[in-house]
Structure 1
Amino acid sequence: MPVSRSGRPTAALLLIGARLRELRAAAGLSAREAADELGTSASTLHRMEGGRVGLKPAHVRRLLTVYGREADAGSVLADVERASRPGWWQAYRDVLPRSPADLIGLEEHAQVIRFYAPAVVPDLLQTPAYAEALQRVQHPEDDDGRIARRVELLTRRQAVLDRAEPAPPVLWALVEEAALRRRVGGPEVMRGQLAHLRRLAGRPGVTIRVVPMRTLHTALMCGPVQLLRYRPAGLPDRVLLHTLDGTEVNEAQDAVTQYLIALDSAASVPSSAPITEWRTEWEDPGA
């Protein structure tokens, strides 16, 4: 079971490794003691717990026995088997951004997703019509078929918002007023996009706030940002920085904290309002 082609651990391996690390800690065993039971080195066990090597079912089953968690073997081994399969997004490599493909896996496994959108509506919150209009601007060289595949990829990513098990992620989005007043695809597309945002905001666990253009705050300097949080808690938060060249992933605690502070400061602007209370010129059918 390989890690991603970029050499970065896949989201599935990271989560399984973090769970094994928590179970070892709960059993009161050091890495050296657990590795001795497995017949390997402590460094190898650390790589397994860090998602940096593939996991063999026999090794996982042995560790669970050592940790006294045989009852968890079925669910953990099922996760190991799923982690060995290529992600569904591999079929879209022809239109994937120039970023590690498993970024979508990181997104799919997150329990909390926070967005900051200074220029356009965040990907996961876009309607197909809005997404298509935006893709035509971002990829003017693409024909209709490739544009359709890009929108299809985005639509499949958005399925994370409707997943049944585990529960959908908690969403918190901070959108600049400029993103809602900028015409993408025309007034009809914008009316549909605003209505969609309001429907999403009506769901449990979804918060979408608008920051007026007249305000100045730290997050304005950082561009589009996505922060991901996971369970188990031993897996660090990650910040995804979206640029023209693709998406960069940073899990350094100092960097994550810096972006969290920037987003919190923007959200605390007194004039920020829920999307359900916001009005723009697009809502006038005659605009």
Structure 2
Amino acid sequence: MRPRSGPTVEHRVLAVRLRLLRERAGISLQTAAEALDAHPATVRRIERAETGLDARQVGELLDCYGVPAAVAEPIMAGLGAANLPGWWHRWRDAMETWQQDVIGVESSASLVRTWHPALVPELLRTPAYAAALYRTQYPDDTPAQLDRRVELLRERQHRLRERGAALWALMPAAALHTTVGGRAVMDEQRERLTEAARRPHLTVQVVPLDHPPHAMTGVPPLYLLRVPAPEIGDQAVLETPGVRVDIVDDPETVMNHRIRLDAACAAAPHPGMPLPGN
């Protein structure tokens, strides 16, 4: 069973290492499962970080793969940290299942690139702007539940800044003309974007209303996440609001999304230009 709060990057890294060690040893899933006296699905779940890393099971798998002590010992030593819940665990009641997986990667990302076709991208929203949207997106939530969602977003933004991760956001000027929460909320949001654009590690590009179509025109909200761990490739998160969210780690597919976003950013006004309407 997948941990309720989603796996941390440390957990994902160890899971990938276990899969690579099995494959390099030429051991099948069936043989690995027999070493655990379990079903092959159990090994697959371990390798996909969909279940906790049990020390006994991991030790038996490493023995089965003939892993030398110099390689096995750091893996075993890292199990404790890998099994710890992520910082976002306390907000799991305010998260969708897919958000748990995304935030698990985002929390260690060195670069986050984001596009939204109609609204201010999530990681740049003020609490008031976010709250106004949440009231529309989650009409059945109580005020306390809505507050929890806002708290989580603020914590994500804080941690991104705290570790100096790079954030590159692209949005259409239409996002600044869509009134969310009233004029005062929008004025504050504009001020926040202007301030954010001056911060290091943060790039904000706004496509003017009279700009011709570009590579991201009509594309749903997109996140590209890069983690400085060779075991974990770049990931793309494509959201179709109210329908589904696709989390993609296939290198070719992620590359295609990155190429489209690169093209749109290259065609947009240079970062640092005044926000439309300012």
Under TM normalisation by the shorter chain, which class is it?
0.7 to 0.9
Superposed, which structure 2 residues align to 1:163-182 within 5 Å?
163-164=162-163, 168-182=164-178
Distance in 1, Cα, partners of 2:235 & 2:168 = 15
Flag structure 1 segments of 5+ consecutive residues without an equivalent: none
| Structure 1 residues 77-88: aligned runs within 5 Å | 77-78=77-78, 80-88=79-87
Please report how far the alpha carbon of residue 115 of structure 1 lies from its aligned counterpart in structure 2 after TM superposition.
0.3
Paired residue secondary structure (1:15): helix
Q: Structure 1 residues 221 and 4 mapped into 2: Cα distance closer, same or farther (>3 Å)?
A: farther
- Which residue in the other structure is 2:184 paired with? 188
Summarize the Cα distance change of 1:88–1:246 in structure 2 as closer, same or farther, 3 Å threshold: farther
Q: CA deviation at 1:226?
A: 0.4
Q: In structure 1, the residue corresponding to 2:150 is in which secondary structure?
A: helix
Q: How far apart are the structure 1 equivalents of 2:45 and 2:131?
A: 41
Q: Could you say which residue in structure 2 is the equivalent of 1:107?
A: 106
Tell me if structure 1 keeps the 8 A contact 2:168–2:202.
Answer: yes
Which position in structure 2 is the counterpart of 1:116? 115
- Structure 1's 176 and 51: CA in aligned 2 closer, same or farther, altered over 3 A? same
Matches within 5 A, 1:93-172: 93-97=92-96, 99=98, 101-164=100-163, 168-172=164-168
Residue 212 (structure 1) aligned with residue 205 (structure 2): no
**1:159 is aligned with what amino acid?**
H
Q: Which letter does structure 1 place at the counterpart of 2:219?
A: C
Q: Which residue of 2 aligns with 1:14?
A: 12
TM superposition shift of 1:249:
0.9
Q: Structure 2 counterpart of 1:224, which letter?
A: P
Match of 1:102, SS state, is helix
State the match for 1:268 in structure 2: 266
Q: Map residues 40-59 of structure 1 onto 2, 5 A cutoff.
A: 50-52=48-50, 54-57=52-55
Structure 1 residue 88 displacement after superposition: 4.2
Cα offset, 1:197, TM superposition: 2.3
Q: Is the 8 A contact 2:16 2:231 kept in 1?
A: yes
CA contact (8 A) 1:12 1:105 kept: no
Whether contact under 8 Å (2:171, 2:206) holds in the other structure is yes
CA 112–67 in structure 1, closer or farther in 2 if over 3 Å, else same: farther
In 2: Cα distance, 1:138 partner to 1:45 partner: 38
Give, in whole Å, the separation in 2 of the partners of 1:110 and 1:189: 29
Q: 1:108 Cα deviation (Å)?
A: 0.9
Residues 52 and 152 from structure 1, CA distance in 2 versus in 1: closer, same or farther, beyond 3 angstroms? closer
Checking the alignment, whether the CA contact within 8 Å between 1:60 and 1:77 is kept in structure 2 is no
Q: Are the equivalent residues in 1 in contact too, given 2:113–2:225 (CA < 8 A)? A: yes
Q: Are 1:224 and 2:230 matched, yes or no?
A: no
Q: Aligned in 2, Cα 1:199/1:68: closer, same or farther, shift over 3 Å?
A: farther
CA distance in 2, matches of 1:52, 1:99: 13
Q: Give the structure-2-normalised TM-score.
A: 0.76
The one-letter amino acid of 2:246's match is E
Using the alignment, how far apart are the partners of 1:267 and 1:147 within structure 2?
33
- State yes or no: 1:236 paired with 2:238: no
**Which residue in 1 is equivalent to 2:247?**
249
Change in 2 beyond 3 A, CA 1:278/1:205: same
Alpha-carbon RMSD across the aligned residues, in angstroms, is 3.8
Separation in 2 of the partners of 1:197 and 1:40?
A: 55
Shift of 1:19: 5.7
Give the distance between the partners of 1:11 and 1:217, measured in 2 at CA.
Answer: 34
Q: Distance in 2 between matches of 1:187 and 1:12?
A: 43
Q: Summarize the Cα distance change of 1:280–1:246 in structure 2 as closer, same or farther, 3 Å threshold.
A: same
Q: Is the 8 A contact 1:97 1:246 kept in 2?
A: no
Counterpart residue type for residue 77 of structure 2: L
Match of 2:68 among 60, 66, 69: 66
Q: Distance in 2 between matches of 1:217 and 1:239?
A: 19
CA distance in 2, matches of 1:15, 1:205: 26
Task: Give how far 1:227 is off.
Answer: 0.9
Secondary structure of 2:275's aligned partner: coil
